């Protein structure tokens, strides 16, 4: 006899969605978070989300409309700004329509939905240890604030603890789950929220992204207005050797770019954060065990957005776990379907964008300025690539870009190489093994593609 069907460590967007999907199907679920109940959802974030994610979630697990008060401002587009600051690309379309929202209220709403569906929420409780029986995951050791440790059992345990993946790291060496995430596959970020009483943002519905390889190598600086007189400003960089401290980058950027224009600013919040920026981990399940959200590396490798994809991961994990519980089989083979389901909806695009990330790391400010100036990059390309994970030009378009890019032919050849590698990785994800048996040989085919991407 176990205490719950499923225990979920972490009540962020990934964990809360998993819990909601399972409880709606009638399973007993315990959702645990170390934060106080009123503070669940509070997180260092850019607070931006594409509307299409909510739509996908509605179709998968039937979440209701977002209540009023969560959305701070409707977002209608994103401006991508070249390092020279003279050129910008406005991206407007279904992927860039979205919202700037209140992170705490969104988190509270999600946990509330899960509770209404029947989930037991245990806040102010730290998950300390993954428990095993006969070598298989069997439960959790938890400690409520001020109380003694307690052991609880369940048929499935879900790690939704965010970027630390603290349960993932406790899996035994014999598990096919990767325990460690390489530094080069992480983004470290700094984010402030300012009130600007003497400055009005004229177009708060347009988010701005500043691209500059000298300042934010492998990342970018964002300026996301949250209305006329409030703004979320931050930057993230890849944690490769010698990277700069994002807090220093932040203050240089704000000082050089905005201090005279914005006038007096009031700092409302200020903090750092980390996110994984790679393909999803190669298997997100083992016997009686699943991972969702940042713990499973379900984050867009280019822009670092992971709220929508963590909810998508949570929905697929919840549906697959429910089917496994109904079959009375929570083995790795029975939970396996979660992997291809997630890959089909987001993971294979993530893997392709991970290839693209390595290409972006190796281009210079000069290349980017040139590409913007000569319109070798167009807003429609970026939208298309961010939506599909593919780089596509028709034959006529290829010729036009070739003419425009005369003088930078090596750059164009590199774009062409990276586009082929992105297609190759998508093809490999379409062949994701149908059972755990095929995993090792499939993984061995991934590495050469990433090695090639790093060398483009």
Ligand X SMILES: Cc1cc2nc3c(=O)[nH]c(=O)nc-3n(C[C@H](O)[C@H](O)[C@H](O)COP(=O)(O)OP(=O)(O)OC[C@H]3O[C@@H](n4cnc5c(N)ncnc54)[C@H](O)[C@@H]3O)c2cc1C
Which residues contact ligand X (rule: CB under 6 A)?
9-15, 32-35, 40, 43-49, 126-127, 160-162, 164, 166, 189, 191, 234, 273-275, 293-295, 299, 304-308, 310
Least CB distance from residue 282 to ligand X, whole Å?
A: 18
Q: Can you read off the two tokens belonging to residue 362?
A: 């190796």
Q: Strands 285-286 and 220-225, how do they pair?
A: unpaired
299/325 with CB nearer ligand X? 299
**CB nearer to ligand X: pick between 126 and 414:** 126
Shortest Cβ distance from residue 191 to ligand X (Å)?
A: 5
* Residue 343 Cβ vs ligand X, minimum distance, rounded to whole Å: 17
CB of 108 to ligand X, least distance (A): 12
Q: For residue 129, count other CB atoms closer than 10 A to its CB.
A: 15
Please give the sequence-ordered ranges of beta strands (E in DSSP) within 239-354, or none if there are none.
266-276, 285-286, 289-291
Which of 190, 432 has the CB closer to ligand X?
190
Tokens coding 341: 């389901």
Residues whose CB falls within 8 Å of the CB of residue 316, separated by 6 or more in sequence, listed in order: 60, 338, 341, 342, 345
Which CB, 188 or 425, lies closer to ligand X? 188
- Measured from the CB atom, is 205 or 369 closer to ligand X? 205
The least distance separating ligand X from the CB of residue 35, rounded to whole angstroms, comes to: 5
> Which CA distances in Å does 181 have to 109, 202, 281, 286, 366?
31, 41, 9, 17, 32
Alpha helices in 284-347 (DSSP H): 307-326, 332-335, 338-342
Neighbouring residues of 222: CB distance < 8 A, sequence distance ≥ 6: 46, 207, 208, 209, 210, 232, 233, 234, 235
Q: Which residue has the tokens 């224009």?
A: 261
Nearer CB in complex with ligand X: 302/371: 302
| CB crowding 439-449: b at 16 or more within 10 Å, else e | beeeeeebeeb
Find the shortest distance in angstroms from Cβ 224 to ligand X: 7
Does residue 70 contact residue 356 with C-beta atoms inside 8 Å? no
Contact predicate 279/297, CB 8 Å: yes
Residue 111 backbone dihedrals phi, psi, to 5 degrees? -70, -35
Write the CA distances from 177 to 152, 182, 451, integer angstroms. Answer: 23, 14, 21
Nearer to ligand X, 159 or 367 (CB): 159
Query: Least CB distance from residue 320 to ligand X, whole Å?
Result: 17
List the structure tokens of 110.
């999600």
Which sign does the torsion angle of CA 397, 211, 164, 153 carry? negative
**In the complex, what is the shortest distance from the CB of residue 362 to ligand X, in angstroms, rounded to a whole number?**
24
**Shortest distance (Å) from residue 97 CB to ligand X:** 14
Judged by beta carbon, residue 304 or residue 405, the one nearer ligand X is 304
Q: Rank residues 138 and 161 by Cβ distance to ligand X and give the closer one.
A: 161
- Residue 300 Cβ, how far from ligand X at the closest point, in Å? 8
> To the nearest whole angstrom, how small is the minimum distance from the Cβ of residue 38 to ligand X?
13
Residue number with CB closer to ligand X (293 or 347): 293
Query: What are the strands, taking DSSP E only, across 239-282?
Result: 266-276
Q: Smaller CB distance to ligand X: residue 110 or 370? A: 110
Instruction: Return d(Cα 308, Cα 61) in angstroms, integer.
Output: 14
227 CB contacts (<8 Å, ≥6 apart)? Answer: 72, 73, 201, 204
């Amino acid at each position: 006899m176990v205490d719950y069907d499923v225990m979920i460590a972490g009540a962020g967007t990934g964990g809360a969605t998993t819990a909601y999907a399972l409880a709606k199907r009638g399973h007993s679920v315990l959702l645990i978070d170390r934060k106080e109940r009123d503070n669940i959802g509070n997180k260092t974030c850019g607070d931006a989300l594409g509307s299409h994610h909510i739509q996908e979630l509605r179709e998968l697990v039937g979440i209701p409309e977002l209540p009023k008060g969560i959305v701070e401002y409707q977002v209608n587009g994103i401006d991508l700004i070249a390092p020279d600051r003279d050129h910008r690309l406005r991206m407007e379309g279904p992927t860039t329509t979205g919202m700037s929202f209140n992170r705490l209220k969104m988190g509270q709403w999600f946990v509330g939905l899960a509770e209404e569906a029947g989930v037991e929420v245990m806040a102010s409780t730290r998950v300390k240890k993954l428990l095993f029986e006969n070598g298989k995951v069997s439960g959790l050791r938890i400690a409520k604030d001020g109380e003694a440790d307690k052991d609880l059992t369940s048929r499935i345990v879900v790690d939704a603890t965010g970027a630390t993946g603290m349960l993932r790291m406790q899996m035994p060496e014999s598990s096919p789950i990767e325990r460690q995430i390489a530094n080069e596959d992480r983004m470290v970020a700094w984010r402030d929220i300012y009130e600007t009483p003497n400055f009005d943002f004229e177009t708060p519905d347009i988010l701005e992204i500043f691209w500059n390889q000298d300042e934010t190598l492998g990342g970018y600086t964002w300026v996301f207005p949250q209305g006329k007189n409030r703004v979320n400003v931050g930057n993230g960089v890849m944690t490769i050797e010698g990277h700069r401290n994002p807090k220093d980058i932040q203050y240089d950027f704000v000082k050089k770019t905005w201090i005279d224009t914005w006038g007096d600013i009031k700092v409302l919040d200020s903090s750092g954060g980390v996110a994984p920026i790679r393909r999803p981990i190669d298997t997100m399940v083992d016997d009686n065990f699943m991972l969702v959200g940042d713990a499973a590396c379900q984050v867009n490798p280019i822009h670092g957005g992971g709220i929508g994809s963590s909810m998508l991961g949570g929905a697929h994990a919840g549906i697959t776990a429910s089917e496994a519980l109904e079959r009375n089989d929570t083995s790795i083979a029975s939970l396996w379907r979660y992997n291809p389901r997630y890959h089909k909806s987001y993971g294979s695009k993530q893997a392709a964008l991970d290839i693209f990330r390595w290409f972006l790391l190796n281009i210079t400010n000069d290349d980017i300025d040139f590409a913007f100036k000569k319109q070798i990059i167009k807003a429609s390309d970026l939208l298309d690539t961010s939506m599909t994970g593919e780089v596509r030009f028709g034959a006529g378009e290829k010729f036009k870009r070739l003419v425009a890019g005369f003088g930078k032919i090596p750059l164009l050849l590199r774009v062409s190489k990276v586009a082929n590698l992105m297609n190759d990785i998508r093809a490999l994800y379409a062949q994701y093994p149908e059972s755990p048996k095929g995993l090792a040989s499939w993984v061995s085919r991934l590495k050469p593609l990433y090695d090639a991407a790093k060398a483009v």
